[in-house]
Amino acid sequence: MIKAISNLGSYAIETIEQIGRTFNLLLIIAWKMCLPPYQIFPIIKQIYFIGARSLTVIIISGATIGMVLGLQFYNTLERFGSVGVLGSAVALSIIRELGPVMTALMVVGRAGSAICAELGIMRITEQVDALECMAIPPDKYLVAPKLIAGIVSVPLLNFVFNVVAIGGGYFVGVIMLGVGEGSYVNGMIDSVVWGDVRLGMVKSIIFGMLITLICCAKGFYLHLSQYGSQGAEGVSRATTDAVVISSVSVLFFDFLIGALMS
Amino acid sequence: MAKLNIELITGIFVIIGIACFTWLAISVAGATFSEQPGYSLTARFSSISGLREGAVIEGAGVRIGSVTAIEFDPDSFEAIVHLHINEGVPVQEDAIAAVRTQGIIGEKYINIIPGGFEELLTEGMEIYETESAISIEDLVSRYIFSSDG
């Protein structure tokens, strides 16, 4: 009984420590980014890895989700005889909710896990310590480019996703199911306002920061967590944790930002 | 070569992302960075139920402006609506501004019905003739109670 309670206590302490370390890492990086030397190429390389290489999966998932939304909204709206609002229904739900969330989840799955595994392996094979020995600040050299790349890439991917998904909805609604082209396009243009695009943009910037930060912190501080001494198994567990925690926090923050901003 | 390739692909990715954003912001959301030339008028309504900022102003079914702001006047218990009318669209002094609905459950917009006066309204003036939003519930309840008695 006492052991169960003390297990709970150690779990709580561990969780709070991790949250603290994660935000501490964010503050340290925000400070160190202001100090020279400034290096552009590592950031470009990370934007290439997180952003450009995710483009295919974003385009495929965007088209699929747009088509699914077009189909399902059509079936539902047809019952009420108002297929004319299909365009605005698809565009609003994608721009406000599905675009940022799906993009963030795709990036977590494709790039977040890789970031966490890369940093975790560098940590357990003591490459991070080697950098420190050479007086290269590892947080600035390893984590900062990934964080900046996440903040830049995820919003860009989100806009690509939105456009492709609206196109997918257009394909199903107008070309396959015969909704009027004018009512789809003009309904969308009339109902979407700048505030909707801004909400989606703010969401995806915050998600981009959140997922790269969580995945980096999980890998970078692997030696401080309970899996630290477990070698390759520890890396795999930390990666799993990073993906689960960042996905869940994306969904939670989605609700939070939506509630605060609208 | 590898470095150049990465930079090239990243550049293409950034261009695609920014192009998508511009299309969303300008074509779909209709954000304008420079305000369209025109002049602003005000109008008072006893009810504008459902009208939102950014709503369309139509004249003869054509878009001629947009609602820029909505205020509440506590003294007269009326809504003050600020209208932005595009340049070159004349609004007579006795023109009527009416809150209308697109279809039965559509969005609310303001319809400008032209008047017969020679004098035109200019920047900052008020449209005195207004028609408030028609509430379907009101109409239905009036019908029910009138047929009752």
Complex ipTM = 0.78
Residue A22 Cα to chain centre, angstroms: 16
Tell me the mean pLDDT in the region B101-122: 80
Tell me the mean pLDDT in the region B122-148: 80
Nearest residue in A to B12, CA atom: A52
Residue B74 Cα to chain centre, angstroms: 23
Give the closest-approach CA distance of A40 to chain B in angstroms.
11
Give the closest-approach CA distance of A34 to chain B in angstroms.
24
Q: Which residues of chain B are within 8 Å of residue A194 when distances are taken between CB atoms?
A: 25, 29-31
Nearest residue in B to A91, CA atom: B28
Which residues are registered as beta bridge partners of A16?
A: none
Whole-angstrom Cα distance, residue A157 to residue A106? 10
CB contact residues (below 8 A), chain A span 191-220, against chain B: 191-194, 196-197, 201
Residue of A60, A41, A13, A26 lying closest to A147 (CA atoms): A26
Whole-angstrom Cα distance, residue A210 to residue A151? 9
Q: Which residues of chain B are within 8 Å of residue A55 when distances are taken between CB atoms?
A: 13, 16
Cβ of A156 and B18 within 8 Å?
yes
What share of chain A in percent tops pLDDT 70?
A: 99
Cβ of A48 and B18 within 8 Å?
no
A93 has pLDDT over 70? yes
On average, the pLDDT of chain B sits at: 82
Q: What is the pLDDT of residue A185?
A: 85
Ordered alpha helix ranges (H), chain A: 2-32, 41-50, 55-79, 86-93, 99-107, 113-124, 127-133, 138, 144-170, 181-191, 194-220, 232-261
What SS3 string covers B73-112? ECCCCEEEEEEEEECCCCCECCCEEEEEECCCCCCEEEEE
What share of chain B in percent tops pLDDT 70?
A: 90
Cβ of A156 and B10 within 8 Å?
no
Q: Which residues of chain B are within 8 Å of residue A89 when distances are taken between CB atoms?
A: none
Q: What is the pLDDT of residue B34?
A: 58
Hey, is the C-beta of A50 within 8 angstroms of any chain B C-beta? Answer: no
3-state secondary structure of A137: coil
B102 has pLDDT over 70? yes
Model confidence at A254, pLDDT cuts 50, 70, 90, reads: very high
Q: What is the pLDDT of residue B104?
A: 66
Nearest residue in B to A156, CA atom: B17
Cβ of B28 and A52 within 8 Å?
no
CB contact residues (below 8 A), chain A span 58-117, against chain B: 82, 91, 95
Cβ of A192 and B28 within 8 Å?
yes
Whole-angstrom Cα distance, residue B73 to residue B90? 27
Cβ of B10 and A47 within 8 Å?
yes
B70 has pLDDT over 60? yes
CB neighbourhood size of A215 (10 A) = 32
Cβ of B7 and A160 within 8 Å?
no
Whole-angstrom Cα distance, residue A106 to residue A1? 42
Give the closest-approach CA distance of A112 to chain B in angstroms.
18
Long-range Cβ contact pairs of A194-198 (< 8 A, separation 24 or more): A194/B25, A194/B29, A194/B30, A194/B31, A195/A262, A196/A92, A196/A95, A196/A96, A196/B29, A197/A95, A197/B24, A197/B25, A197/B28, A197/B29, A197/B31
Cβ of B20 and A160 within 8 Å?
yes
Give the closest-approach CA distance of A229 to chain B in angstroms.
36
Mutate to test the interface with B, among A192, A198, A199, A201 (most CBs of B within 10 A): A192
Q: What is the pLDDT of residue B1?
A: 55
Give the model confidence (pLDDT) of A27-73 as tens digits. 988 888 888 888 888 888 899 989 888 899 999 999 999 999 999 99
The residue type found at A171 is F
The DSSP call for residue A230 is S
Cβ of B10 and A166 within 8 Å?
no
Whole-angstrom Cα distance, residue B21 to residue B10? 17
